Every structure is written in C-alpha cells, then in structure tokens.
Amino acid sequence: MEHNEYEYHNPVLLKETVDGLNIKPDGVYVDVTFGGGGHSKEIMRRLGPNGKLFAFDQDTDALANALDDERFTLINENFRFIKRFLRVYGIKQVDGILGDFGVSSHQFDVAERGFSTRFEADLDMRMNQNGNLSAYEVINDYEENALSKVFFSYGELSNARGLAAAIVTARKTEPIKNSEQLKKVLAKFLPAHKSNKILAQIYQAIRIEVNQEIDVLREFLEQSLELLKPGGRLSVISYHSLEDRLVKRFIKNGMFEGEPERDFYGRFEVPFDTIGKLIVPSAEEIKINNRARSAKLRIAEKK
Ligand SMILES: C[S@@+](CC[C@H](N)C(=O)[O-])C[C@H]1O[C@@H](n2cnc3c(N)ncnc32)[C@H](O)[C@@H]1O
C-alpha cells in the first residue's frame, strides 16, 4: 500500500493499539485523540450493539470525521478534561482508554495551521483553533531563558541558548510573524545538510509548548487511572521521548517521580500491570507511513 497524501490520517500501530484494549463487546471505551478516526473505527468494529465509544479531539476540523453511529460520541474538547466531560454523559468508569498523541497528518497538511516546515505560514500551531497561546506568543513574548528551555527540553536541541538569543535579538527590530522570518532569523543554525532535521526539532519544541502537551499528558494519565475499572486497559502511543518516559513511569509506578509505597510484605503497591513489552512499528509500516517512525506503544491493565 502506498501512502496516500489525500488520506486524513493513516493510523499508526492500528491493530496492536486496539488489541491492547482487549475489547469487551459491551464495554465503554474512550479514544482521546480521534483525528481521522482510524483507531475509533477499529474499536467500533469490535464493539457489540451495547458497547459505547466516546472520542475526544480539540481540533474542530476533526468533527467532520465523526462516525455516524449511535454507540459513538465525539467530544470537541481537550482530553486534559477527560473526567469532567465524561461525567457530562454520566460516565464515571470505563473499560479502556486509547491515546495516539501529537499531530494528525491532516493538521500537518493544512499549511495555515503552521505545523509543517514544508509550508510558509503565520506562526500558529494551535491544535485547538480557539486556544489563547500560539507559536507567535511563544516566539515573540517568551523571555530568553524560557525560550531556551523550550528548545532544550522539547526539541532536544543542544544549541538551545543560541537559538533563543538569536530570536530575542531579532524581535527587538520587528515581531517574527511567520515561518519565513523565523527561518531567516535562525539561518546560521540550519546548515543545508541538517536543516530539515533541526527545523523539525525546533517546530516540535514550539508545538509542544503551544499545546502544553507535557502538562496535558500528566493530567490525562492521572485521570485515566481514576477512570479505568479494575481490569480496564490503557493503550497509548507517544512520539517523543519525554512523553514516553512519563507514560512508562506512570504505568510502572502509578506516579511520575519517586517510588510508590511498599505494602506489608515490602512489595511496591502499584496500580497497573504492564501488558507485554514496548511495541514499535515494523520497518514496513514506517516505509508506508513516515509519521510512525518515532511511535512507541505501551499497554497497561488497571489492577
Ligand atoms: C495523531 S492524531 C490521532 C489520529 C487518530 N488516531 C487516527 O487514527 O486518525 C492526534 C489527534 O489528537 C488531537 N489531540 C492532540 N492533543 C489533544 C488534546 N490534548 N485534547 C484533544 N485532542 C487532542 C489532535 O488534534 C489530533 O487530531
């Protein structure tokens, strides 16, 4: 199968991620990153007439893909509020939660959203088109230290300080409004042979900050633990090492830092059983879907 650029989104690790949910036909499931609905459609296929699927996407573009099925509900909100919005539908506990974080191919392909290094666009990168923080504010308003931290932590860029300093100097003359200006300001850090890679890291860092992706992930994981029934499954794909580290630690310990308490016998009291090992896409999948290349799938079962 060739990658079809007109497809909304080619779902990553489709079978593996949905298998991870261990679907009960009459269970209640949540897909927190609906996008083009690839994973949701597969969940629906495995649900019986009494099963339910709630999906989240904060991007209004995703609404066009809503599935026409009475067992399905699409919630146009940030999944950092998963508990609150499920409550609106009377749902307090669920059998499984799927997450496929980051940006959809559709978002990358719409030039004016500003996610892709391929196009000229204003600095935006908001997944929620009504969000208050865009790439413009990050680039033009953040203090040098904060900017440098964004590049270092989220872009894993060793010259984060230099990048931040160049931006702060340039914006004293005029605001940096679009991708062309940004590239010009950072030109000396973008040698021809590595320019695409470095630019992608810079964009990734700005995007994670704009969408507060790390804070959102932490809040989501904590709420998932509360929402899952005993025996319920968490099946999540991350694309960034920081995200994967948080998911891994949370699954292992039920917390992000430190060590869990020990029980009477000195064993760690942890809320999840890890299911299987870390799953990554095959070389064939990466060949037909480049977006899959950094995907890491982890599956856990609530005790
Ligand atoms: C990688 S795509 C998911 C693709 C989907 N699994 C499919 O098969 O089509 C991620 C989607 O999640 C959405 N998203 C990312 N972070 C979100 C958040 N915090 N709250 C709600 N939606 C979010 C994005 O808008 C995007 O559409």
Rounded to the nearest 5 percent, the helix, strand and coil shares of the chain are: 45, 15, 35
Q: What is the pLDDT along the chain (303 residues), one digit of tens a residue?
A: 333 444 567 999 999 999 999 999 999 999 999 999 999 999 999 999 999 999 999 999 999 999 999 999 999 999 999 999 999 999 999 999 999 999 999 999 999 999 999 999 999 999 999 999 999 999 999 999 999 999 999 999 999 999 999 999 999 999 999 999 999 999 999 999 999 999 999 999 999 999 999 999 999 999 999 999 999 999 999 999 999 999 999 999 999 998 888 888 888 889 999 999 999 999 999 999 999 999 999 999 999
Do the strands 52-56 and 94-100 form a parallel or antiparallel pair, or are they unpaired? Answer: unpaired
CB neighbours (10 Å) of residue 185? 19
Sheet holding 72-75, edge to edge: 72-75, 52-56, 28-31, 94-100, 228-238, 296-302, 272-279
Query: What pLDDT is recorded for position 2?
Result: 36
Ligand 1 atom closest to the Cα of residue 77 is 21
Query: What pLDDT is recorded for position 7?
Result: 59
Residue type at 242 in one-letter notation: L
Of 18, 13, 16, 57, the C-alpha closest to 35 is: 57
Q: Whose CA is nearest to atom 25 of ligand 1?
A: 59
Q: Which residues line ligand 1 (CB under 6 A)?
A: 9, 11, 33, 35-39, 56-59, 62, 78-80, 100, 102, 104, 127, 216
Ligand 1 atom closest to the Cα of residue 106 is 27
Cα(31) to centroid of ligand 1, in Å? 9
Q: Whose CA is nearest to atom 24 of ligand 1?
A: 103
Query: What pLDDT is recorded for position 182?
Result: 98
